[in-house]
Amino acid sequence: MSVADLRQKYGKFELLESGMAATPFEQFTTWFSEALQAGVPEPNAMTVATLGPDLHPSARIVLLKGFDDRGFVFYTNYESRKGQELAAHPRASLLFFWQPLERQVRIEGRIEKTSAEESDTYFRSRPLGSRIGAWVSPQSRPITRETLEQRTAEMTASLGEDPPRPPHWGGYRVIPHYVEFWQGRPSRLHDRVAYQLQENGNWVLQRLAP
């Protein structure tokens, strides 16, 4: 079978404007809860797309670590490639794909760093190995496996059981102006309903052609 012949039939659910919440945050909460209940693997896994100083786009999978009506939060090394790109262009696009439910969510917005207190709180909640790893890894830079293992051994010995958060590591919040909910439908006539933020702070709901 060729790649061109690979197809997935959709049609489990439908998405109607009349059944959607007043804000994208409420709607996301509903869909995220349903993804959890359905046992979707890593429902908080999302593609984060950024724009480099050279205007070349790049994307990678990152884990969502919090969301509310302020935005969507993830954590990373501020000196990594994505950190440098967000410093140059503080905008990002997020994409969730929950295949068992035949759903996608697209989020576009501006970026701001979370507060030091918020980053500290999350950092302390991480497993010890992950906290040490944040100190060990010069993320996105060339390194050998041997060097990484040596740094891990050295940092494990020096940092102890309660390492503080590295100054180069913390959170980002995506503050959306556009959120699109996509539901797979038969014959590729998918449901696409988008929330667009208006200047007055209200959200406008609009159906898009598939």
What is the maximum span of the chain, computed from C-alpha positions, in angstroms? 59
Is the alpha carbon torsion for 48, 210, 194, 99 positive or negative? negative
165 belongs to the catalytic site: no
Q: How far is CA 16 from CA 28, 43, 107, 146, 178, in A?
A: 15, 23, 19, 54, 18
Find the length of the chain: 210
Contact between 178 and 107 (Cβ < 8 Å): yes
Element (H, E) at 34: helix 24-37
Question: Residues 165, 188, 192, 207: which is the catalytic one?
Answer: 188
Alpha-carbon distance of 69 to 51, in angstroms, equals 25
- List residues with catalytic annotation: 188
